[in-house]
Amino acid sequence: MTTGQGVIHDLGYRHYDGARAGRRYIARALFLESAKGAYGLGRSAKSKVMPMLLLAAICLPAFIIVVITTVTNADKLAGDYTSYVLNVSLLVMVYVAGQAPTSVSRDLRFRVVSLYFSRPLERVDYVLAKYAAMTTAVFVLLALPLTILFVGALLAKLPLDEQVPDYLRSLVGALLVALVLAGIGLVIAALTPRRGLGVAAIIAVLAVLAGVQGAVQAIAVEEGADTFAGYAGLFSPFTLVQGVMSSVLGAEKVLEAEPPGALGGAVFFAATFLVVAACFGALLLRYRKVSI
Amino acid sequence: MALIATEELTKRYGQVTAVSELTVAIEPGVVGLIGANGAGKSTLIKMVLGLLPPTSGRASVLGLDIATDGTAIRQRVGYMPEHDCLPPDVSATEFVVHMARMSGLPKTAARERTADTLRHVGLYEERYRPIGGYSTGMKQRVKLAQALVHDPQLVLLDEPTNGLDPAGRDDMLGLIRRVGTDFGISVLVASHLLGELERVSDHVVVIDAGRLLRSSSTADATAASQLIAVEVTERTDELAAALREAGLGAQLVGTLLEVDLQDDTTYDIVRDAVAGLGVGLIRMERRRHRMSEIFTTPDGSR
């Protein structure tokens, strides 16, 4: 009001009669908040340190590869997209172990979930938003260095018709890795309200899976059991997705043993799908049990 | 339209019956829900929120069926749980803005309403500090603020004075009264302390072991059997006799004399009787009901 001087501001209670959005908007708001939160954005400075350090560590080798490629005038990148994802896998696991508990254990431990579930948001919306947010966060973590490689390749004037398909394929792979890792990470984190325990449990599970996969595959290769060695990739998230990449999407074979033939490809593809569906189902079951 | 109406509402957890054939109609206003721990208050609140399907019976909140319109109910209702529910690492402002958005408010509206609501519940400069450093009283205020931030038509408060010191209790009760009168938001406040709810509610619903004991306006509930306690220096029995002669019910309880309060003249009669005996009057005060008294129905059965 601009009626001149002497305006008295009414500080009494004001009702709200503006827009009230439904479940979809709320779920999207939770998704955005959680995805940003996975990098500490909108949180304290302390919670930015780990994710940002890991992001930098994962991108650094890509820079170096780009520099080497440009300086030496090479006719191909000094490291390919597919093996890049596998080479930084340890860092990605550490990231998931750190951020999945931050995303869900906190809400369970401090019982913030009661406040979510006493609102229009349904439990399935909460699970969807959290799963999508963690997947997006891990995808960004992998897509950023891949994009650096791609941009570097363009700057080095490498042939586009070779680079574009490889790059796009690697993005699909990054998305699959993100779906699988986010699923496993969130399921473990949702079972352990204590953050520290969640971090340790995720690291342990992922490390054991990778260890088993590596050992089984190495022994199988040694023994000459090639088919079995190929299927050993099923044990660990990264090799699982690599199997899908090489057999279904036609990416380069970079492992000691890759899924054998069309059947192998189908098995790896089905396994990936099953893992993601199982993680989502497990999360739904877990949150159905959470009382407010 | 009734604020909350239940019909034979029952909830069983295996062998345990938490709420048993509860039929009650509650009008808008500040409503006290009284019951001992484990009487079924929290269960009733969760059913009212549409989060806990009843074993049998029906209930509606703001005209919406709890069995089918849960989402619509939760859009119009605010809930303050009994337990802690605040993350320690964010500030009250950040947290309440987030909760406003989780109720479907757009970003700008969420910010404005958060600032308003936190001011109304009495959080000022401290609202920018992480919640982890707050006192219990401040945390209770944040819990209340998140229940009010989306301007609900009804707030459900589960034991809002839990853990508060007497001054904090009074503040919280005053705030609850204001939510009902100044904000025009209906309140269902659960507590095991009747004395507390007497002061703030228009209507009280008393439940025990999941069954309805009484549902009446606060005035009715308290008018029925009000007492004053009188303590004198000596000759208490003579005073009791004198008061009975004057037509007042009076019984000796320890060294105290409990006198039925009929109206304001009762105080005068007591004063005159004490003066007539020439003894010293140590105190004369209104007695609050105890749970056990209100839990006894007029015909003496439980």
Show me where the domains of chain A are located.
23-212
Residue B158 has phi, psi (to 5 degrees) of: -100, 110
Question: Which of A14, A18, A29 has its CB closest to that of B101?
Answer: A29
B38 pLDDT tier (thresholds 50, 70, 90): confident
What pLDDT, on the 0 to 100 scale, is given for residue B196?
Answer: 82
By C-alpha distance, the chain B residue nearest A290 is B51
What pLDDT, on the 0 to 100 scale, is given for residue B223?
Answer: 55
What pLDDT, on the 0 to 100 scale, is given for residue A140?
Answer: 97
Lowest mean pLDDT among A140-149, A157-166, B70-79: A157-166
Token pair listed for A80: 């390919």
Q: Which 3-state string (H, E, C) describes B92-139?
A: HHHHHHHHHHHCCCCHHHHHHHHHHHHHHCCCCHHHHCEHHHCCHHHH
In this prediction the ipTM stands at 0.87
* Interface contact B71-A23, CB threshold 8 A: yes
CA–CA distance, A176 with A138 (Å, rounded to integer): 10
What pLDDT, on the 0 to 100 scale, is given for residue B241?
Answer: 87
Average pLDDT, chain B: 88
Is pLDDT of B298 > 50? Answer: no
Run of H or E including B212: strand B211-217
pTM of the entire predicted model: 0.85
* Domain edges within chain B: 4-222, 227-286
What pLDDT, on the 0 to 100 scale, is given for residue A27?
Answer: 96
Chain B residues with CB inside 8 Å of A121's CB?
Answer: 102
Contact present, A256 and A231 (Cβ < 8 Å):
no
CA–CA distance, B182 with B185 (Å, rounded to integer): 8
| CA distances for B50 relative to A8, A78, B73, angstroms | 42, 59, 7
Is pLDDT of B292 > 70? Answer: no
Is pLDDT of A25 > 80? Answer: yes
B286 pLDDT tier (thresholds 50, 70, 90): confident
Strand B154-158 to strand B77-80: parallel, antiparallel, or no bridges (unpaired)? parallel
CB interface of B with A, residues 187-226, below 8 Å = none
* Structure confidence by residue, pLDDT tens digits, B54-108: 999 999 999 999 999 999 999 999 999 999 999 998 999 999 999 999 999 999 9
B301 pLDDT tier (thresholds 50, 70, 90): very low
Interval A164-173 mean pLDDT: 93
What pLDDT, on the 0 to 100 scale, is given for residue A75?
Answer: 82
* Interface contact B102-A112, CB threshold 8 A: no
CA B122 to chain centre: 20
Lowest mean pLDDT among A25-39, A68-82, A202-216, B101-115: A68-82
Is pLDDT of B1 > 90? Answer: no
B256 pLDDT tier (thresholds 50, 70, 90): confident
Which residues pair with residue B284 across a beta bridge? Answer: B230
What pLDDT, on the 0 to 100 scale, is given for residue B258?
Answer: 84
Contact present, A189 and A108 (Cβ < 8 Å):
no
Is pLDDT of B9 > 80? Answer: yes
Q: How buried is residue B255: exposed, middle or buried, by Cβ count under 10 Å (0-12/13-18/19+)?
A: exposed
Collapsed DSSP state (helix, strand, coil) of residue B19: strand
> What CATH code is assigned to B227-286?
3.30.70.980
- Alpha helices per DSSP H over chain B: 41-48, 70-76, 92-102, 107-120, 136-148, 166-181, 194-200, 218-223, 236-245, 265-277, 291-295
What pLDDT, on the 0 to 100 scale, is given for residue B300?
Answer: 41
Sheet holding B281-286, edge to edge: B250-253, B256-260, B227-232, B281-286
* Interface contact A120-B75, CB threshold 8 A: yes
> B194-210: string of b/e by CB count within 10 Å (b at 16+)?
bebbbebbbbbbbbbeb
The one-letter code for the residue type at A234 is: L
CA–CA distance, A79 with A68 (Å, rounded to integer): 10
Is pLDDT of B259 > 90? Answer: no
Which residues pair with residue B292 across a beta bridge? Answer: none
Chain B residues with CB inside 8 Å of A23's CB?
Answer: 71
Interval A111-135 mean pLDDT: 96
Query: Is B4-222 a CATH 3.40.50.300 domain?
Result: yes
Interval A47-73 mean pLDDT: 93
CA–CA distance, B164 with B144 (Å, rounded to integer): 14
Is pLDDT of A8 > 80? Answer: no
By C-alpha distance, the chain A residue nearest B87 is A110
What pLDDT, on the 0 to 100 scale, is given for residue B255?
Answer: 81
The CA R_g of chain A, rounded to the nearest whole Å, is 23
What pLDDT, on the 0 to 100 scale, is given for residue B302?
Answer: 40
| CA distances for A285 relative to A127, A173, B13, angstroms | 10, 28, 19
CA–CA distance, A240 with A181 (Å, rounded to integer): 11
Contact present, B1 and B63 (Cβ < 8 Å):
yes
* Structure confidence by residue, pLDDT tens digits, A182-202: 999 999 999 988 999 999 999
Disruptive mutation site among B105, B108, B149 for chain A (greatest number of A CBs within 10 Å): B105
What pLDDT, on the 0 to 100 scale, is given for residue B176?
Answer: 95
Contact present, B214 and B297 (Cβ < 8 Å):
yes
* Block residue for tokens 């129905």: B297
Interval B256-282 mean pLDDT: 86
Interval A73-87 mean pLDDT: 86
The one-letter code for the residue type at A260 is: P
| Cα of B29 to nearest chain A Cα, Å | 17
Cα–Cα nearest to A182, from A132, A256, A218, A245: A132
What share of chain A has pLDDT > 70, as a percent?
Answer: 96
* Interface contact B85-A23, CB threshold 8 A: no
Cα–Cα nearest to B116, from B88, B138, B96, B136: B96
> Helix crossing, A46-71 with A89-109: angle to 10°?
160
Is pLDDT of A1 > 60? Answer: no
User: Between B294 and B61, whose confidence is greater?
Assistant: B61
- Which residues are CB-neighbours of B255 under 8 A, at least 6 positions away? B231, B236
Interval B37-53 mean pLDDT: 91
| Cα of B244 to nearest chain A Cα, Å | 51
What pLDDT, on the 0 to 100 scale, is given for residue B220?
Answer: 66
Strand B211-217 to strand B250-253: parallel, antiparallel, or no bridges (unpaired)? unpaired
Strand B250-253 to strand B256-260: parallel, antiparallel, or no bridges (unpaired)? antiparallel
CA–CA distance, B299 with B234 (Å, rounded to integer): 35
Question: Which of B51, B182, B184 has its CB closest to that of A118?
Answer: B51
What pLDDT, on the 0 to 100 scale, is given for residue B251?
Answer: 81
What pLDDT, on the 0 to 100 scale, is given for residue A5?
Answer: 58
CA–CA distance, B36 with B106 (Å, rounded to integer): 40
* Structure confidence by residue, pLDDT tens digits, B108-161: 999 999 999 999 999 999 999 999 999 999 999 999 999 999 999 999 999 999
Is pLDDT of B192 > 50? Answer: yes
